[in-house]
Amino acid sequence: MARKYPRRANVIRYHALALLCAAPLLALAQTYPGKPIRFIVPFPAGGAGDLVIRRLAQKMSESWRQPIVIDNRAGASGALGLQIAANAPADGHTLVLGTASTHSINPALRRDLSYDPIKHFTPIASLIVIPNVLVAHPSVPARSLQELIQLARAKPGQLSYASNGAGTSAHMAGELLNRAAGIQMLHVPYKGAGIAVNDVLGGHVPLLFGAVATTLPQVQARKLRALAVTGAQRSPAAPSVPTVAESGFPGFEVVQWFGAFAPAGTPRAIVVKLNGELNRAMSLPDVQESFARQGFETRPATPEKFAAYVKSELDKWSKVIKEAGIRAE
């Protein structure tokens, strides 16, 4: 029996040490945030990501009684803002908006980026996803995705699709569909969604992968025909439009996702607190209603699940871009 006492003492000392180590982290979480939070948005004001962050920042500020300062740092397809965030102190008082483009597509497409999407950032929270809709000009003789694919196979290289730019999720949706269906649609990149939509409306380009909010009004006005959405599930904003996955390509998913990140090394206790607050803000009924009106779908997740998703997206697009021979323009 006497031999058990040293072992018991060791266990007691171990738990005491663990409590001592955890105490500073608990205190840090209780006092955070101790000053205004700077939320860098690496795009111009007025875009989807900017609208999302401003809505959530309002709710966070009300809850924490600390200002959330939105800092729009557009430039270099988001790289400017990401670099500023990567160099900021890892104390939880600087956050940055990351997207499918900044953290999975551009890093796979470009070798000149000044940041590493995995090494330089701590994933905080998954925010929203925006699926694309494949729409066709009324002159296209296809009323479903399968009919379009049959048409594309009969006319290899003759059908083209517009997107809001090279390296965007809309561009990648077309490339992935080419590979999945064994077809050869040509990509026509535009410098913005509005210009792309106008050219498809004018019949200059027959097809378009565009965001729900951009394309749905034209579909409802019967100026364009919706063939499929690129999300894993049907969009609540367009429930009658089937997904690419259910149209014969299981597992197909291409969305523009948005998430919150902090500089690498941000303390775990702060990461957890930020994740909980952002998820709370997203769950509020008025926020949900506001996002739904704009075609935004919330996708809350733990920091660990979000980190795994970001890594899987980077791996996915690295493979597609390499095998398709896509180069930055």
What are the boundaries of each domain within the chain?
Answer: 36-130+256-324, 136-247
Beta bridge partners of 129: 257, 297
Distance in angstroms (rounded) separating the CA atoms of residues 126 and 124: 7
pLDDT at 2: 47
Structure tokens at 203: 């019949």
Fold agreement between 36-130+256-324 and 136-247: yes
CATH classification number, 136-247, choose in 3.40.190.10, 3.10.20.440, 3.40.50.620, 3.40.50.1370: 3.40.190.10
Got the DSSP string for 152-200?
HHHSTTT-EEEESSTTSHHHHHHHHHHHHHT--PEEEE-SSHHHHHHHH
pTM of the model: 0.87
Distance in angstroms (rounded) separating the CA atoms of residues 5 and 289: 61
The percent helix, strand, coil of the chain (3-state, each to 5) is: 50, 20, 35
Torsion of CA 174, 206, 133, 256, to 10 degrees: 50
* Class of domain 36-130+256-324 (CATH, top level): alpha beta
Q: Which long-range contacts (CB under 8 A, 24 or more apart) does 78-83 make?
A: 78/42, 78/43, 78/102, 78/106, 79/42, 79/106, 79/113, 79/114, 79/115, 80/42, 81/40, 81/41, 81/42, 81/43, 82/42, 82/114, 82/115, 82/120, 82/121, 83/114, 83/115
Residue 151, Cβ neighbours under 10 Å: how many? Answer: 17
Residue pointed to by tokens 């997107």: 163
Distance in angstroms (rounded) separating the CA atoms of residues 161 and 292: 27
pLDDT at 165: 87
pLDDT along the chain (329 residues), means of 10: 54 57 57 96 92 97 96 91 97 97 93 93 97 97 97 95 91 95 95 92 97 92 97 92 97 96 98 98 97 92 98 95 83
Nearest one of 176, 145, 129, 169 to 246, comparing CA atoms: 145
pLDDT at 218: 96
